[in-house]
Amino acid sequence: FRFKDSLAEDLRRADLVISHAGAGSCLEALEKGKPLVVVINEKLMNNHQLELAKQLHRDGHVFCCNCSTLVETLQSMDLTALKPFPPGQPEKFALFLDKVVGFQ
């Protein structure tokens, strides 16, 4: 599908997520503990998606490919090799922001 108001139910039911490398899409799937294959759109200028996908791949959280290597990736991937994505720590960010703004 191209657009949906919410992917929560689809993510809940999914055994595997194949997604573009948008930060929101990646983080939503990883926070739900779903194995993720990130397909990079190589036609984007200043491709921040490529940077995010490659870092998540280096950290062992996702499989990364492009459209031409998707089938090969799906055939060769080992889902047990993926590392769980650590939960967010918003309190640390809040403390950092307080320090930067001068509330501490």
pLDDT digit string (tens) for 79-103?
999 999 998 878 887 888 888 887 7
Please state the pTM of the whole predicted model: 0.80
Nearest to 25 by CA among 36, 16, 14, 15: 36
Place of tokens 């990364």: 64
Q: Where are the domains of the chain?
A: 7-101
Q: What is the pLDDT of residue 46?
A: 67
Backbone conformation region of residue 6, classed left if phi is above 0, alpha if psi is from -120 to 50, else beta: beta
Looking at every residue in the chain, the average pLDDT score rounds to 89
CATH code for the domain defined by 7-101: 3.40.50.2000
